[in-house]
């Protein structure tokens, strides 16, 4: 049985929870990548200390370009910009060929926010607020720290 979209995002949330408190100043993010047939083909959570980002880790496990119809489920809006100068997660998802991204919580960080706009400009379908109530507690402390 193929997991539902809700199941995929709940898996991403569970991955983020495993890293909560282990990512330094960065938030713990979960990312699940699903093939066109609905099967999970990769997943990852933010690395210890906050790097690499979840999307980066999940994409590194896959061949590129991804087949049309590949979907990513991400607990926090993919970053628009990286402080390290590396490609942002939004750019990585675009370059990999992801067709659609489901996002639970929009990023309030000045460098992170705007990733969904970058995805949309590139023609990637974006759904925001997907299971946000379940994922939001993961980011309360992070958002409070940047206020």
Average pLDDT of the chain to the nearest whole number:
95
- State residue 85's pLDDT score: 79
* Bond from prior residue into 52 cis (ω within 30 degrees of 0): yes
Look at residue 6 and tell me whether its pLDDT is greater than 80.
yes
Instruction: Write down the architecture of domain 5-146 according to CATH.
Output: 3-Layer(aba) Sandwich (3.40)
Query: Rounded to an integer, what distance in angstroms lies between the CA atom of residue 88 and that of residue 114?
Result: 11
Question: What residues have CB less than 8 Å from 20, skipping those under 6 apart?
Answer: 28, 138
Q: Which of 55, 77, 81, 134 is catalytic?
A: 55
Query: Rounded to an integer, what distance in angstroms lies between the CA atom of residue 72 and that of residue 23?
Result: 21
Residue 108's SS3 state is coil
Beta carbons of 84 and 56 less than 8 angstroms apart: no
Q: Which of 94, 120, 86, 101 is nearest to 12 (CA)?
A: 101
What pLDDT, in 10s, does the model give residues 14-59? 999 999 999 999 999 999 999 999 999 999 999 999 999 999 999 9
Any catalytic annotation for residue 100? no
pTM: 0.96
Tell me the residue length of the chain. 147
- State residue 77's pLDDT score: 98
Question: What residues have CB less than 8 Å from 83, skipping those under 6 apart?
Answer: 111
């Amino acid at each position: 049985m193929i997991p539902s979209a809700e199941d995929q995002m709940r898996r991403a949330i569970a991955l983020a929870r495993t890293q909560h408190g282990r990512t330094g100043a960065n938030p713990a993010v979960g990312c699940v990548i699903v093939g066109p047939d609905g099967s999970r083909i990769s997943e990852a959570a933010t690395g210890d200390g906050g790097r690499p980002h979840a999307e980066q880790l999940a994409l590194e496990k896959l061949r590129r370009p991804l087949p049309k119809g590949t979907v990513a489920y991400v607990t926090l809006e993919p970053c628009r910009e990286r402080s390290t100068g590396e490609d942002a997660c939004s750019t990585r998802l675009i370059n990999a060929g992801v067709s659609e991204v489901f996002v639970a919580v929009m990023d309030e960080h000045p460098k992170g926010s705007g990733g969904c706009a970058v995805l949309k400009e590139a023609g990637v379908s974006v759904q925001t607020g997907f299971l946000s109530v379940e994922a939001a507690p993961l980011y309360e402390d992070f958002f409070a720290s940047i206020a």
